[in-house]
A and B are shown apart, each in its own frame.
Chain A
Amino acid sequence: MADAACGPSNSLQQFKQQTQLDRTLQQDRVTSRSRPGQGFRSADPNAGLLDPEFEAFQAGLPPPDFQTFQPHHPGPPRFQQAFPEPAQGSSSWASDFQRMSLASPPPMQQQHPVGPSSSNWAQDFRSNIAQSAPRAQNSSPSPFAFQQGARLGMNGYQSNFAQPAYSPSMQSKGKEPVMEQFDEAAFERAFDMAKEDMMADVAPVSAVDDAQMNQEVESMSAAKAEESHQLNQQDVEQSLSDLHHPLDSNEHALPEGMIREEHKEPGQNTRNEDDALAATAQELLEKVENNQTDKFRNSQFLGLMRRLRDREVKVEGDKMVETTASTSTSTTDHPLNTTATSTPRFNNSEQIPRHEQDHDPNRHQRPIDDGADVVNLLSQPGLPGGEPSTPPSLAPDPSPSNLDLTEDMERRRLGDLWRSMLPSSSAESPRGLDPRAHSVGAEQSGFASPAFTA
């Protein structure tokens, strides 16, 4: 490049100069790197699978077997699992419907066509839609979807959502309306039945139903549900009680399919997490059990670990709470209690409402003081913390990464913190050295740094 700068110049040389320009610095990954999620290069397992298909298409050959195509994303199998009854029922219902060859487009419920009846990319696309918008199944505008819901009645309809007791009678009722013989009369009757059911149900709206409807609305409004987010019974209750904190409840909002799946084994995950936490605490205590110094025996942290191990304390949401089974009266020296009594104002069992945390809606109205110039600088648009109304990084609603963190975070964090505390069993192999031997030698030498004694 440097030699091209001097000497005679022509257009070809200019062009060569352009192509040989070292752009690696300009192509620094300043922007691409900043998004961790976009950085990975996990190969699409189906890359190249379509190529022979495309070539065959171009050559005018019949399309090859579609069975080889593997849906790339992990969503649909889980989704199918989350909606066992409706998916199956609707697909059989839909296929029955198709067999009747009514001149109507296939309804939206046909999300998981059995067999390779439709081309694979279309299936992929559909299940993508199902993944990103699971509500589509129940909010489908198809009249038959409505009919099915109507035949189920309001109760049956709700049982699609967060009804803890999924009654088998409802289920059979739900599977029944497979239209073997479709006639106008039945269609009309269904509308009548739905009307009756609705009239019957609207009057005595119980508080629970109301709450469930609210919850459903809330879960509809959830922009994106973390797939790996496990919701347990407590979380459901939590989200019910959090209905008046819409910002807060975002965290708990999930597609109702997931909620219902949880209800099949209520409390299972809670118990598993508690077990894992107790096991971690147990492991931690075993590592220090041979240390009988006063400090370790009286350690409040290790006391907390003992209580976690013995299930006297458990983690609930953002707090550590004593389990009801704990009848111990000697809790006065416990850190949780001392916290509550010694600093009533900052009792950490009382959560700061999320909308009051870490963001400042009135920042621009604050009196000018020491750091005001910096604030002004930072409040400029395009800078972090700018646009006081909704500073992106300080907005109270949790980003997807936040959701990821809340999921059994305390267990992972305890495990990680614990790993960083003491040697793991593998690292505990004898090093042939009592670490204190060396320091005792130093002690005996009586040496002190001259700099310090000066």
Chain B
Amino acid sequence: MLEFRTAGFNPYSVKYSPFFDSRLAVSAGANFGLVGNGRLFILNLTAEGIVCEKFFETQDCLFDLTWSEQHENQLLTAGGDGSIKLFDIGVGEFPVAGWQEHGREVFSVHWNLVNKNTFLSSSWDGTVKIWAPERKESLVTLPVHSCVYSAEFSPHHPDIVTCVSRDSHLRVFDLRQKPSAQNHLTLAIPIHAPLKIPIPDNVTGGVQPSECLTHDWNKYRDSVLATAGVDGTIRTFDLRAPSGPVNVLPGHEYAVRRVSWSPHLSDTLLSASYDMSCRVWTDGSTQDNGGSGVGFGRELGRMDAHTEFAMGVDWCMFGAEGWCSTCAWDEKVLVWDVRDFMRR
């Protein structure tokens, strides 16, 4: 396990570069993001451990970041002051571009993985905005009317956007549709809905709505997503059955801050939680029951090295399938192999 200390700053998000297997970026804020400056760290994995290649200072906490899919040296940050900034590692100490439209904290940014000319941002002002890096103003604003904690493009389709928000709903937007009164909204799935197929030894009916903090698209099954939030439960959804969750993965004691599907295994999830643990899960879809995605999900292992709330996780796309990076408010960024933490 490799470790890097973001001294004086509490990390919120960590992301592997999609271009280099040894490059990481971490967005962080002083004073746990409540007040004070933010900092964007560019880290390199070297033979001597993790080395900070460069960092950028910002006025306010950076809640999220995403690497550009167009340029290997560029990355976007989501600022607590409502700004989105594009940094270039090769250029100076200031952002090369910035966008300011959101009225409140921007809480997530995500680059379109298919049509690499657009990216999105979601904010506590209750909107998701679609942007193009060469335009000053946003292309589209998707109103959600609730604090949007997380928004993503589908990795399978350039025009599908999903988001999860405070109101306990998973929304799906199709940008190909005409902008009618629906504002591209095609689906709004209640996350707290009971399971369609009840799983024995698991009470899932009648759950109260709770804020949903994070979600992620499965990288292999193009209709499957996972969400997680304040109730500490990870749920998987299949957009082909949009009435409620397909699978429920309880286990975290407190809210789950981030989930991420493995880029190598279609059934494996990694999560970070306010209970200070990071856990590996399977949703059971590749097991003996036919791989329908309705298997019995379970926790595969947990990593307890963080000593404050765990905030960010990301899988390494390169090399062996188990490497990942996590960060937490203990000012630590850890790079580790989940296979070391599997239950034997």
Contact = CB atoms under 8 A, between A and B. Distances in A.
Contacts of B322: 452
Interface string A327-363: 0000000001001001100111001101001111001
A439 interface: yes
Contact of B85 (A298, A358, A410, A436): A358
Contacts of A452: 300, 321-322, 338-339, 342
> DSSP class of B's interface residues: helix, strand, loop or mixed?
loop
A100 interface: no
B93 to A, nearest CB: 8
B158 interface: no
Contacts of A443: 299, 343
Given A370-B73, A420-B211, A435-B251, A24 B178 contact: yes
Contact of B203 (A372, A391, A432): A432
Nearest to B103: A401
A429 B208 contact: yes
Nearest to B61: A413
A10 interface: no
A301 to B, nearest CB: 6
B136 A383 contact: yes
B35 A393 contact: no
A401 B100 contact: yes
Contacts of B115: none
B312 interface: no
Nearest to B126: A36
Nearest to A377: B134
Nearest to B94: A360
A343 B97 contact: no
B48 interface: no
Interface residues of B, number: 103
Residue of A29, A295, A360, A377 contacting most chain B CB atoms (<10 Å): A295
A185 B99 CA distance: 62
Interface string A287-303: 01001000110111100
A346 B105 CA distance: 24
A389 B248 CA distance: 53
A421 B59 contact: no
A320 B94 CA distance: 26
B82 interface: yes
Interface string B1-37: 0000001111000000000000000000011111111
B298 A439 contact: yes
A402 B342 contact: no
Interface in B34-73: 34-37, 39, 57-59, 71, 73
B35 A410 contact: yes
A343 to B, nearest CB: 4
Contact of B82 (A301, A315, A405, A446): A405
Given A348-B36, A417-B33, 19 more contacts: A33-B140, A36-B141, A304-B32, A317-B35, A318-B36, A348-B37, A369-B91, A375-B96, A393-B83, A402-B81, A416-B124, A427-B231, A431-B203, A438-B201, A442-B299, A445-B298, A449-B265, A449-B267, A451-B265
15 contacts: A30-B139, A299-B308, A317-B35, A347-B8, A357-B59, A360-B92, A360-B93, A369-B91, A372-B91, A375-B91, A401-B103, A410-B34, A423-B210, A441-B201, A448-B343
